Amino acid sequence: MAEDVVFPESRATVYTTLAAGPEFRHEIEVKRSRFITVLHRTGDEEGARSVLAGLRKEFHDARHHCSAFVLGPDRGLQRSNDDGEPSGTAGIPMLDALLKRETAPGVTDLSDVTAVVVRYFGGILLGAGGLVRAYSESVTAALDRAPLVQRRRQRICRVTVPHATAGRLENDLRAAGYVMAETSYEAQTTVLRLALPDDPAALARAGERLAALSAGSAELVPGETEWIDVPLS
């Protein structure tokens, strides 16, 4: 499933999501009812609905396949569905569990996540309050165990230098803590690429540091942005 989020340029420059890789599953039991939560990293609504469709086929004998998803760096797209449970007892509690998840103290920025809770009815009615708690706790318990990463918007900047000085400058930039992207080679020059935080202050500081390292001979040229995964600090 596609990793890139296709949204207009967002106000957010960082958010939290599931680590790339297979979906994450966790199960709880409440009064003999099984609640199987599946968390999947998804970049668009089509992907989220595809996840739900696949789980409906896999768990075709389950009574309910309730879902919620939140998408986009600004979390601009949010949907939930009770799938036959009493209105407001499944999808909304699941969505609340995603939206209110703290990824750092006071920070709630989880996005690009689809949650599906498959319920096998155990024969004991839970009541509206019991259902709300069960669906919320099922998603929360899965998130407690799921691998998460930060997704950061980086500005890819070009630095064009002669071949003879490229190696030294690249080493100096790495030693200064800058993240280097792909390097390319032209006839007379080497093009170094740096992945920098996408904010004017960070770009200005990087330009000043580059000028100092190159004795004013190299210029930082900002280019396109891209989202990259980094471990949670």
96-110 per-position pLDDT tens digit:
999 999 999 999 999
Mean pLDDT for all residues in the chain: 93
Supply the CATH classification number for the domain 14-146.
3.30.230.30
Six-digit token string for 173: 């930039």
Task: Give the domain 153-231 fold.
Answer: Alpha-Beta Plaits (3.30.70)
Domains 14-146 and 153-231 share a fold: no
3-state secondary structure of 91: helix
Residue 117's pLDDT is 98
Q: Compute the average pLDDT of residues 120-134.
A: 96
* Bridge partner list, 25: 38
Per-residue pLDDT tens over the stretch 47-95: 999 999 999 999 999 999 999 999 999 999 999 999 999 999 999 999 9
Q: How many CB atoms neighbour CB 126 within 10 A?
A: 19
Question: pLDDT tens digit string along 27-46?
Answer: 999 999 999 999 999 999 99
Q: Indicate if the pLDDT at residue 5 is higher than 50.
A: no
Percent of the chain with pLDDT over 90: 88
Question: Domain residues of the chain, as ranges?
Answer: 14-146, 153-231
